[in-house]
Amino acid sequence: MRRTDRSRIIDHIPLIAAFIVIFSIAVGAIFSFGDLTASAEVTQEQIDRLRAEKQDFERKKREVQAKIDAIEFEHLTEMAKKAVLDQRIELTGLQIVNVNETIDQLLILIREKEYEVVIAGHREETQLQKYKNRVRDMEENGIVSYLELIFDSTSFSDMLARIDFIRDIMRADENVYEALQTARNETAAAKEMLEGIKAEFEDEKALLEHLEEELLEQLDQAHELILKLEADIETENQLHDRYTAEEARVQMEINAAVEALRKQQEEERLRQQALGGGYSDGGGGAVTGSGQLMWPMNGSVISKFGVNRGNGRIHLGLDIGAAHGVNVVAADSGTVVAATYNEGGLGYYVAISHGNGMTTYYGHMSSYTVSKGDYVSKGQLVGYNGSTGNATCPHLHFEVYVNGTRVDPLTKL
């Protein structure tokens, strides 16, 4: 080698060394970025864990809603009881007013009868005194009077007439006295009867007042219970809202994780294509679905999406009825992200991510034929119809998520 060439090489050594250092830093950065990317990768296990957490919040929401429904029913019952108590108290109060007015009228009548008894007694006493005076006069002057009656008579018939006249006077006095005595007795009896009626009304008034006290006490208890129930409803509603918020939060995490997984899969597919390899489901079908779903099972629709099932529960899937054991197939191509048993709701179910923001769920099956991580083609068997989980008859509960949000499956079929 010539000296000049050697000199040139020596002159470029610093530049070469600097290039080597920069290259090393760049390679290190690339590997570090790769490590960070690998560590940031989303796994299906993370999504499954989030889904399990979401299902737990859904279960808690259902339990809280059931308690709310029970408390609201009890609240309505107590409100109905309170309405009846209000009516009974009102009627009892009116009865008490009526009894008081009746007693007041009876008191007036009793006072009138007492006055009549007093007046009748005076009249009776006066008439008795007159009668006694007449008898006394006749006893004191009986002989003279009789002699006068005889000697003053003009004839025997006149004397007899005078004797009959005196007898009539005495009989009349006696009759007047007896009549006054009878009137007094009748008035006293009427007064006594009125006093008896008054006593009965006073007893009824006492009973009504006691009943009113009991009703008011029951009303106070009803008020206290209603206030407690309203407080319980408020507490349970707050708990329900918290679970709803937590469910929404977890759903957002699921959506983000599914989207991250989709991007990772897309990046892996592009990387495989760049390397000259293929990325398939192992059976020749594409991982990403077409977006147009087929019916997952032959049968009839027995409950549509969005139907209100009472107690605030909205049906968020499509129920397809068929006999036990009817084939359930994938509605589109994709990756099985869940194949398990959900005790509280879907029973044996399969979830398939179609790689285009769409995920489908197949619930209440008697069994499934795929495993998590399997790639399935559109129309491929994934399980058999059944009634496991929360189901009263054999049917397939079919749900469709688009970017993490449930949609009506009929709009995609």
Per-residue pLDDT of the chain (413 residues; tens, 9 = 90+): 444 444 444 454 444 444 444 444 444 444 333 333 333 466 777 777 777 777 777 777 788 788 888 888 888 887 887 788 778 778 888 888 887 887 788 788 778 877 877 887 777 677 667 767 766 766 665 544 555 666 676 776 766 776 676 677 667 767 776 877 787 787 778 778 878 877 887 888 788 788 888 878 877 887 887 788 888 888 888 887 887 787 778 778 777 777 777 777 777 767 766 765 444 433 333 457 888 899 999 999 999 998 887 666 788 899 999 999 999 999 999 999 889 887 657 889 999 999 888 999 999 999 999 998 899 999 999 999 998 888 878 999 999 999 888 999 999 98
Residue 269 falls within a domain, yes or no? no
Residue 150 falls within a domain, yes or no? yes
Write down which residue in 240, 258, 293 finishes a domain: 240
Give bridge partners of residue 340 from the DSSP assignment. Answer: 349
Residue 224 falls within a domain, yes or no? yes
Kindly tell me the burial class for residue 55, based on how many C-beta atoms sit within 10 Å of its own C-beta (0-12, 13-18, 19 or more).
Answer: middle
| Nearest Cα residue to 183 out of 129, 108, 125 | 125
Q: Which residue range(s) make up the domain with 396?
A: 285-413
CATH assignment of the domain containing 409: 2.70.70.10
Question: Are both 72 and 20 inside the same structural domain?
Answer: no
Question: Are both 195 and 299 inside the same structural domain?
Answer: no
Residue 54 falls within a domain, yes or no? no
Give bridge partners of residue 361 from the DSSP assignment. Answer: 351, 399
Specify the number of domains making up the chain: 3
242-281 burial, b for 16+ CB within 10 Å, e for fewer? ebeebbeebbebbbebbeebbeebeeebeeeeeeeeeeeb
In sequence order, what E strands does 344-384 have? 347-353, 358-365, 367-368, 375-376, 381-384
Do residues 384 and 404 touch, judged by C-beta distance below 8 A? no
Question: Are both 87 and 213 inside the same structural domain?
Answer: yes
Question: Are both 180 and 64 inside the same structural domain?
Answer: yes
Do residues 190 and 196 touch, judged by C-beta distance below 8 A? no
Question: Are both 73 and 208 inside the same structural domain?
Answer: yes
Please name the amino acid found at residue 255.
Answer: N
Question: Are both 230 and 320 inside the same structural domain?
Answer: no
Residue 148 falls within a domain, yes or no? yes
Residue 75 falls within a domain, yes or no? yes
Question: Are both 123 and 235 inside the same structural domain?
Answer: yes
Question: Are both 3 and 143 inside the same structural domain?
Answer: no
Question: Are both 168 and 119 inside the same structural domain?
Answer: yes
CA–centroid distance for 410 within its chain: 33
100 contact partners, CB below 8 Å, separation of at least 6: 205
Residue 88 falls within a domain, yes or no? yes
- pTM comes to 0.39
d(CA 6, CA 8): 5
Residue 275 falls within a domain, yes or no? no
Question: Are both 193 and 317 inside the same structural domain?
Answer: no
Question: Are both 216 and 325 inside the same structural domain?
Answer: no
- At which residue do the structure tokens 């939060």 appear? 249
